[in-house]
Amino acid sequence: MSAERGNKEVKVETRTITEIESEPIYPTGRCGPVLARIPVVVSQSKVHIDIESKVCFDHSVIDIYSHSRNVYLTECKLLNLGSKRYGKIYLNGYVSENIAYAANCLNDRGYEDNKSTSADMLYKTFKLPFECVTKIEYCTCPVFKTSNKFIPVALPDKENNLEDSYFTDERLFCELDEASICESNVARKKRFSGINRGEDICAFDTLTEYMVLSMTFTLLQWQQVRIPGYYPNNPQ
């Protein structure tokens, strides 16, 4: 590259954006009473699920640098008990876990005389499935045409096939509001010690995790609700 091309001037264009005033517009609507069809909160619950997982690595792991986890629900069903206060909900899902770890791959390939202490940085992604059933208390009584049956519950970002006996008036939705994981213990099964001769380095190829998954979820149902009118002189 010539000096002339290397010192070529870069042209930059800028402009100043002027701030202008905005005019507030206050929303208006008809006064009640109104009959509306809206998603109603049927129940909001929190569950704690104990999970034990065993992860097997393909290499001799020296150390784990980072974890990242995401929680996903894959199936949700509500058992209508015919009660106006309680129901049973069945949840299925998985925890997607990403691990970044250091591994000595040369030793696994049979290079026992290798004196290098350098390790490869590798990544592993796996799923930890879970399922549970729990009794929930209704804060708003759901509307069902029949009792003692399973009602499929729609999940966000997931295609839900409607069954023949699934009435649209009974349609339910489940939203995962919050999820947290408390890791109580990690047990590492040693594969061997002293990866490189003369050095006290421990490696393992099996990782056992014990965790508690806490999830808060909300069950909603589309219902027709009569909203009373608002009278300013009435006490709130």
Is 78 within 8 Å of 87 (Cβ atoms)? Answer: yes
Which has the minimum average pLDDT: 17-21, 95-99, 164-168, 169-173? 164-168
DSSP letter at 8 equals P
Task: Compute the average pLDDT of residues 157-182.
Answer: 69
Label residue 145 by pLDDT band (50, 70, 90): confident
Per-residue confidence (pLDDT) for residue 195, from 0 to 100? 46
Higher pLDDT, 162 or 119: 119
Sequence spans of domains, the chain: 17-22+39-104+117-158+167-220
pLDDT at 220 over 90: yes
Is 100 within 8 Å of 120 (Cβ atoms)? Answer: no
Per-residue confidence (pLDDT) for residue 103, from 0 to 100? 83
pLDDT at 40 over 70: yes
Label residue 230 by pLDDT band (50, 70, 90): low
Beta-strand ranges (E) seen in the chain are: 34-80, 86-104, 120-137, 149-154, 172-193, 202-227
Q: Express each pLDDT in 65-113 by its tens digit.
A: 877 889 999 999 998 888 889 999 999 999 998 888 888 765 544 444 4
Task: Compute the average pLDDT of residues 195-219.
Answer: 76
